[in-house]
């Protein structure tokens, strides 16, 4: 029995079809990520540039939020502009 592999995208395509016309696959997905399958198993995801940029931006926001929470209880130190 083959193990079940989750596909973390709404669209998927075989790697053979991707090789034939990659830009058609991207266009057809209308900006959404596409799971690329090899023998019915996801091997990678094609993520359009705009979606990738949004993911990276969200990750940066999460990192900054974690830093704010980490520093939330720290004592503030006043610094004048001339001291910088």
pTM of the model: 0.72
Distance (Å, whole) CA 9 – CA 82: 53
pLDDT digits (tens, 9 = 90+) for 6-23: 999 999 999 999 999 999
pLDDT digits (tens, 9 = 90+) for 22-60: 999 999 999 999 999 999 999 999 999 999 999 999 999
CA distances from 22 to 26, 28, 59, 73, 79 (A): 6, 10, 27, 51, 55
Report the pLDDT value the prediction gives residue 84, as an integer from 0 to 100.
Answer: 80
């Amino acid at each position: 029995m083959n193990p079940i592999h989750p596909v973390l995208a709404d669209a998927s395509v075989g790697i053979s079809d991707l090789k034939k016309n990659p830009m058609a696959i991207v266009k057809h997905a209308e900006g959404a990520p596409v799971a690329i399958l090899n023998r019915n198993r996801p091997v990678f995801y094609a993520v359009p540039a705009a979606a990738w940029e949004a993911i990276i931006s969200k990750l940066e926001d999460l990192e900054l939020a974690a830093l704010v929470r980490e520093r939330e209880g720290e004592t503030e130190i006043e610094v004048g502009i001339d001291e910088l």
